[in-house]
Structure 1
Amino acid sequence: MERIAIDVGGTHIKGGIIDAHLTLKDKVKIETPNNIDEKITDAVFELVARYIEKHQLTRPQIGISTAGVVDEEEGHIVYTGPTIPNFNGTNFKTLLSPLSDDVHVYNDVNAALLGELSLYDYDAQNIFCLTLGTGIGGAFYHRDTGLYNGARNRANEIGYLLYRPTDETTYELRGSVRALKQRMQAQHFEYDDDVIKLFELAIDERDLKAQEILNAWSEDVAEGIAQIQILYDPELILIGGGISSQGERLLRYISPKIAHYLPPEYGHARIQTMQTQNDAALYGAVAQFH
């Protein structure tokens, strides 16, 4: 059986077909409309309709991963911060009802964690997933009870942690990949906001500017991870988002700094990058269909 998977992010909308063998096919990526002049709902409906026609599917199962606070049972967006305007109240089950009777909708970080767990086996009883992208999101999973969403579906919204009144910034406004790119541009990095180039040059001990940018940014990332450790005490913290493809290059900057924001000898969970990297949410969007 082929299922349609859609991942709505602040920068891009991705889509793909995932078959019974968990093979991702016909992957596409488009820019996320600004949701003012052009609507996200129109782009998602058109993308799904195109998949249905191209692959000759009849009312297929559709999984939606989306940024924002999501009522996963009702399929609508409860709340979004400033990253996507006019998104509150969007209902993907209603939107796609002309095309399918079986639509699952997940917060994007929940979907990313479900996707990772559908493809890879971890021995940890409880896992926190932290995604670094346009914003910062979180998800918490316990092997016995599954995902924890909180009383109002607002659990794990860690991007809003660590508000600093002096510059009116939150954790995600300092530690996201968008924030990293802004640092690069503010410091006139030679390759503008090319994050891959930044990591490549930082390996070279002579490129002090690349190292300086990554050191400053990773301090902000590590500060938030310390809060996660205190609040959840997980066995494993997984870092996702496109930047997770940097693997050990990323962890070497973040992991040693976490202890800076914890009491002496407090300790913290294992820190790893996600193996599915930027496709995790697509897999997770369809992971719990039967």
Structure 2
Amino acid sequence: MNLFGVDIGGSGIKGAPVDLERGELTQERHKVLTPHPATPDAVADGVAEVVKNFAWTGPVGITFPGVVTGGITRTAANVDQGWVDLDAAKLLSERLDGVEVTLLNDADAAGVAEMTFGAGRGRKGTVMLLTLGTGIGSAVFIDGRLVPNTELGHLELNGREAEKHASTKAKEDEGLSWQHWARRVQKYLAHVEMLFSPELFIIGGGVSRKADKFLPHIEGIRAEIVPAELQNNAGIVGAAMAARG
């Protein structure tokens, strides 16, 4: 069975049809840049461009970088504040000519995909996926069950939000070396570990492709740390899984 997934990120909107039996994209994903400012209407136009590139007319799962409850976007840390308390599922469905839209938090989608098809498959206990990108997203699983909308990138670290300190955007903006940035990620992981004591950290986002450049520099964390196996496609796969209901 194939369904369509779209992943809305701080820098790009990407999507593709997904084979839900294998957890794989059936075609090369299509990506457009996230508009700035990332207003609801502008982002909806980007989503429509991605979906219509494949002439897709069935149900669509879409991720959002913030808290989502019942299709309503509740927070908007890295996008326009017009998303707060918006019926975003309705807006996106209308922009996609009325197709059924399922909306969920972006890291939650990536986490569900990794727990089903990737690095978390078959793992029990507390597992945490952390997506390092424009911000830091989080998905928490207890014995395979998702605790939604945790948004742990907004924990305070060194007097400011953790994602302002340890995201890949912070690395790029401040010109940090891999080793220097790894120490920041290590400090963040230590803080999260103190609060949740997970057995496994899965590091996702686009930077997971370069895990060998920073994971070896992270020390002193008791939990196992592994890169996401689906890498930056995890959000698309998880979004498509959500569209199945």
TM-score, length-scaled by structure 2: 0.87
Q: Quick one: distance in 1 between partners of 2:124 and 2:32?
A: 35
> 1:100-152: CA deviations, max 9, x gaps?
553221111101111112213233332111110011111101235x1113xxx
Q: Which has the larger radius of gyration?
A: 1
Match runs of 1:59-208 below 5 Å: 60-71=58-69, 74-81=70-77, 83-86=78-81, 87-98=83-94, 99-100=97-98, 102-120=100-118, 121-143=121-143, 146-149=145-148, 153=149, 156-165=150-159, 169-184=160-175
Return the letter of the residue paired with 1:23. E
Instruction: Note the C-alpha offset of 1:219.
Output: 1.6
Q: Distance in 1 between matches of 2:122 and 2:189?
A: 20
Structure 1 position 29 matched with structure 2 position 25: no
Which digits, 9 at most, give the CA deviation of each residue in 1:90-109, with x for residues without a partner?
43320243435532211111
Find the residue that maps to 2:109 and give its secondary structure. helix
Which whole-Å CA distance do the structure 2 matches of 1:245 and 1:124 have between them?
25
Q: Specify the code of the residue in structure 2 equivalent to 1:129.
A: L
Partner in structure 2 of residue 286 of structure 1 = 240
**Which residue in 2 is equivalent to 1:237?**
201
| Code of the aligned partner of 1:118 | T
Instruction: Find the residue that maps to 2:229 and give its secondary structure.
Output: coil
1:212-251 correspondence to structure 2 within 5 Å:
213-251=177-215
Number of paired residues? 236
Please list the CA deviations of residues 213-243 of structure 1 after superposition, one character each: whole Å capped at 9, or x if unmatched: 2232222111110111111111111110111
Deviations 1:8-41 (A, max 9, x none): 0010000111134443114111100113687112
Counterpart Cα distance in 2 of 1:175 and 1:20: 33
Alignment map for 1:50-65 (pairs within 5 Å): 50-51=53-54, 54-55=55-56, 57=57, 60-65=58-63
Distance in 1 between the 2:73 and 2:129 partners? 20
In the TM superposition, residue 78 of structure 1 has moved relative to its aligned partner by 0.1
Counterparts of 2:192 and 2:106, CA distance in 1: 18
Amino acid at match of 2:198: P
CA 1:48–1:89 in 2, change beyond 3 Å: closer, same or farther?
A: farther
> What TM-score comes out, normalization by structure 1 length?
0.74
Unaligned ranges ≥5, structure 1: 185-211, 260-266
Cα displacement (A) at 1:163: 4.4
Closer, same or farther: CA 90–41 of 1 in aligned 2, 3 Å: farther
Alpha-carbon contact 1:235-1:269 (below 8 Å) kept: yes
Contact map agreement 1:69 1:107 (CA 8 A) in 2: yes
Match of 1:228, SS state, is helix
Hey, which of these two has a bigger chunk of strand by percent?
2
Q: Name the residue aligned to 2:15.
A: 15
Rounded Cα–Cα distance in structure 2 between residues aligned with 1:275 and 1:240: 8
Q: 1:35 to 1:183 in 2, by over 3 A?
A: closer
2:227 equivalent in structure 1: 273
Change (3 A) 1:178 1:97: closer
- The whole-number CA distance in structure 1 between the counterparts of 2:214 and 2:179 is 10
Q: Secondary structure at the match of 1:15?
A: strand
Residues 35 and 89 (structure 1), Cα distance of their counterparts in 2 relative to 1, 3 Å cut: farther
